[in-house]
Amino acid sequence: MALAPEPVVTAPVDESLDLWAVMRKSMHMDLEIDRVRVKQEIKWLQRNPNYLPRLQERMQTYLPYVVREVALRDMPVELALLPIVESALDVYAFSHGGAAGPWQFIRGTARQYRLTMDDWYDGRRDIVASTDAALRLLTDLHNRYDDWFLALAAYNAGPGNVNRAKRRNPGAGYFDLALPRETRAYVPRLLAIAAVIKDPEEFGLNVPEVKNEQSFNTVKLHSQFQLTTLASVIDMPLRDLQHWNPAFARWATSPRGPHHAIIPADIEQASVQAAIDAWPEERRVDWREVTVRNGDTLSELAIRYKTDVRSLVTFNKIKRNRIRAGQKLLIPSAGQDAPTPSIAGADLIHVVQSGESLWTISRKYDVNLRKLMRTNQVGPRDPLAVGKKLAIPGHSAPGHSAPGQETSRSVVRTVRYKVRSGDSLARIAGKFNVTVSQIASWNGLDLKKYIQPGQALKLYVNVMGG
């Protein structure tokens, strides 16, 4: 790869209010605009002139921060555009392969780079945590290959694919390696976007205005906070707090951390931090004392009270996960006003009839029994009174949220999935936490016929559930 000597890059300063002007001063990567593949990607942008302008709001929200982080690490500033290639800067982006967030981390790589993922928090959707992890990963890949194009190829396809291609063609550069089709287009797509940003007039395109102003700051929480309480302390609407913190998956921040929150830049950071620090720790989460009943298990209590087993064990110093009838437990309580986590589209209500059980209801609607219990916060031994209303996960009632529509309880993204050898509808449904009947409905499938490798399916996936 042809790269000019890399200068010492400093963090963007406030000399210019135009982020593009700041980036252009630091662009030194050979963008290879005479390459056929790069030309093809530029032509795509020319055929879709509204693509970049449509991303203006996301760019303004996230790019100034990413540019600053890239520059602070003395990395080519063009790499800051990579989340556009990966996810169109959508923090809720979710791929058919299970990659999530603006940098599209799969779970294995996310864990390797110390991104926390649990029932409470998904660091892949945290712009601060995921950007740090992505830039560390890219740095490691560059240290391995001493070539940014190969580092980018390995980011997309994995080092194994790049290494195999290099063994087949020793000494070859990125453009001469036999890489997977998606990877062959991956680097040219980044180069094409960088070329347009660098000189939009040359390509007859307009780029949206993006100011060189960071739109958010972070504050330290030090311990778990109920979101309704945190919103009150910060003095901002709960929905806004959730908007700025897409990594928060439940009614509270994670008991185990990371303990930070993102707040908009127009809120005074120091005063908010002072208010958080002064808030008594025992008032950060609502607590209730419950008495363990005969037959109760930790997993059932966790479902009933919207928490998890690990938290119950930690809060109550339970040894060997054993509880006994009559024992008193402190339970972190979501409270009546807290947002209730839910599976996407859980708007169909079933009224319990005489003789019904959770099992028979789950079979009637073809839903997972555990999902049914979690959605309604009931355990398998809880009394199921006639007339009780249950929300059925994955089934939308008329007039309620349609696929792709976001609510405070779920964020749904469309996933295009290509059937692979060995796939079945049941296997695909399990992978994406949907039902076989939903997949059939969304794609007009006849359940009596087998799906075929290469067949394209459209899925509506709740990214907050996975």
- In this structure, the answer to whether residues 274 and 422 fall within a common structural domain is no
User: Quick one: 256 and 197 in the same domain?
Assistant: no
Bridge partners for 64 per DSSP: none
Instruction: Please confirm, yes or no, whether 78 is among the known catalytic residues.
Output: no
If asked whether residues 325 and 238 sit together in one domain, one would say no
275 and 163 within one domain: no
Does the residue 399 lie in any domain?
Answer: no
Q: Which residues lie closer than 8 Å to 251 by C-beta, 6 or more apart?
A: 226, 227, 228, 306, 334, 335, 338, 339, 340, 341
pLDDT computed for residue 187 by the predictor: 98
Residue 289: C-alpha distances to residues 250, 312, 315, 373 (Å): 21, 12, 12, 22
| 110 part of a folded domain | yes
Question: Going by C-beta distance under 8 Å and a sequence separation of 6 or more, which residues neighbour residue 301?
Answer: 290, 292, 312, 329, 331, 379
Pair (198, 292) in one structural domain: no
Q: Is residue 235 part of a domain?
A: yes
Cα–Cα distance measured from residue 227 to residue 333, given in angstroms and rounded to the nearest whole number? 12
User: What pLDDT does residue 5 have?
Assistant: 34
Strand 260-264 relative to strand 286-291: parallel, antiparallel, unpaired? unpaired
Count: domains in the chain: 5
CB atoms within 10 A of CB 340: 15
Residues 6 or more apart from 258 whose CB is under 8 A from it?
116, 121, 123, 126, 129
Asked whether residue 210 is domain-assigned, the answer is no
Q: Which domain holds residue 128?
A: 19-203
Amino acid at 218: T
What pLDDT, in 10s, does the model give residues 148-200?
999 999 999 999 999 999 999 998 999 999 999 999 999 999 999 999 999 99
Q: How far is CA 327 from CA 213, 296, 307, in A?
A: 54, 11, 18
Query: How far is residue 432's CA from residue 425's CA, in Å, rounded to a whole number?
Result: 11
Average pLDDT, whole number, for the chain?
85
For residues 312 and 368, membership in a common domain is answered with no
Last residue of a domain, one of 168, 203, 238: 203
Which pTM does this prediction carry?
Answer: 0.74
Which one of the listed residues 32, 86, 182, 202 is annotated catalytic? 86
Q: 63 and 168 in one domain?
A: yes
Query: Do 69 and 106 sit in the same domain of this protein?
Result: yes
397 within some domain: no
For residue range 193-220, list pLDDT tens digits in order: 999 999 999 999 999 999 999 999 999 9
Same domain assignment for residues 277 and 295: no
405 pLDDT band, cuts 50/70/90, is very low
**CATH (domain of 374):** 3.10.350.10
Q: How confident is the model at residue 377 (pLDDT cuts 50, 70, 90)?
A: low
Clarify whether residues 173 and 193 are in a common domain: yes
Q: Are residues 123 and 179 in the same domain?
A: yes
How much of the chain exceeds pLDDT 70, in percent?
86
Q: What is the DSSP letter of 396?
A: P
Specify the pLDDT at position 465. Answer: 58
CA distances from 244 to 102, 127, 239 (A): 14, 10, 9
My answer on whether 367 and 449 are in the same domain is no
